[in-house]
Amino acid sequence: MRRFGFPLLAFQAFFLATFAPLAFSPAKAAIPYAQAVIESRKAAQAVLNHAGAETCLRGKLTKVLLRLSASCEAAAQHNALCKLADKAVVVTPMSLTFMEETAHQLIDLTASEQNVSLIKP
């Protein structure tokens, strides 16, 4: 039984190295870009309206920024909104002031995206 241990481990390592990146790629996990933009705008409104506890709002904003970043990558978008998501999502911990500033920027950028019809269904 011991003789089969190494080949099994080698196979498992090969399998994980080969297929794990495919299972967890941003393109697979990403929601459609237009949906991510809409969700970002809703979360930004919640932050600005103080619609919940600060910790909940922080979690909500972080989640939508991560999803927006993944959607941008999957849709090959490199606009100002995507750059904001990539930049803001790595800030930890997010202060309330930072969350509000980011929310204002999200609102402004999503409004301009909708106005110039960059959101594709």
Name the residue range of residue 13's domain.
1-25
The span from the first CA to the last CA of the chain, in angstroms, equals 56
Residue 120 belongs to some domain of the structure = no
Kindly state whether residues 63 and 7 are assigned to the same domain. no
Query: Which ranges constitute the DSSP H helices of the chain?
Result: 5-23, 26-29, 33-48, 54-74, 80-88, 96-115
> Does the residue 88 lie in any domain?
yes
Q: How many domains is the chain built from?
A: 2
For 53-73, write each residue's pLDDT tens digit: 999 999 999 999 999 999 999
Supply the pTM of this predicted model: 0.70
Residue 105 forms part of a structural domain: yes
Establish if 121 belongs to a structural domain.
no
Q: What is the pLDDT of residues 3-47, one digit of tens each?
A: 555 554 555 555 445 544 444 454 457 899 999 999 999 999 999
Same domain (yes/no): 65, 39: yes
